[in-house]
Amino acid sequence: MSRQEVTSDQVAEAADSLQNDGKRVTIEAVCELLDGASVNAVHKHLSAWRAAHAKPAPAPKLDIPEPIATALGKWAQQLAEEAGAGVRDALAQSEEDLEVLLKSGEQFEAEREELLAQVASLTEEVDQLSTELRDARRIATDALVGKAKDQLAIEGKDSQLADLRLQIERNVAAAAALSDARLNAEMELVGAVTARDNFAAEIKELRARLASRQTDRAS
């Protein structure tokens, strides 16, 4: 066998064979099974095999005298109580902080509801204004077109028609500006609703944490 062809699987197979036969698993024995393979190559793979098959040493059995065991038990209990006192104080402080946050959150939620009501009222006013503007634009456009026809029929002057068209374009521009204002108001409403939903999720999570802490404390 060529020394370059030695693999970890071949070394592991040779080592397992020696172990199953009740023989010592040594580098020399593995090299012999592998037809004189390289000692360095076998050593590298054999070390990995030994690490994978190493058995932990059994833990020593300690016979502690009963008085010492009793004293150690009392000491451990006292240590646990002293350590738990700090944890209980921190838990109580955390619960107090959480209650303050919940109260603050409820107040903030009420303010947000009031803000949403104002946004809804503003949206309604914008809708009403948009409706009135559309009606006014339609009436103005009809009047301007009718006027333009009358003037063209009577006088046939191109300059008057140009003025009337300019007036119509101004009305259209004003309507577009109002539409932009309505769109901005709707975007603000969407932002407010999103913020409200996020805050509601935070309140729900805080309440769940408080309930969990109270359950842990009760148990």
**pLDDT, tens digit, for every residue of 158-201?**
777 777 788 888 888 887 888 788 888 888 888 888 888 888 88
Ranges of beta strands (E only) in the chain are none
pTM: 0.28
Confidence of residue 122 (pLDDT cuts 50, 70, 90): confident
Domain count, the chain: 2
Assign 133 to helix, strand or coil.
helix
pLDDT, average across residues 188-216: 85
pLDDT, average across residues 99-122: 68
Are 129 and 191 within one domain? yes
The share of the chain scoring above pLDDT 70, in percent, equals 71
Asked whether the predicted pLDDT for residue 51 surpasses 50, the reply is yes
Asked whether the predicted pLDDT for residue 1 surpasses 50, the reply is no
Asked whether the predicted pLDDT for residue 93 surpasses 60, the reply is no
Its domain, for residue 118, covers: 95-218
Are 176 and 107 within one domain? yes
Are 145 and 207 within one domain? yes
Task: Name 109's Cβ contacts closer than 8 Å, sequence gap at least 6.
Answer: 196, 199, 200, 203
Assign 157 to helix, strand or coil.
coil
Are 21 and 102 within one domain? no
- Quote the pLDDT of residue 125: 79
- Quote the pLDDT of residue 95: 61
Are 207 and 99 within one domain? yes
- Quote the pLDDT of residue 99: 61
Are 103 and 189 within one domain? yes
Are 103 and 201 within one domain? yes
Are 142 and 196 within one domain? yes
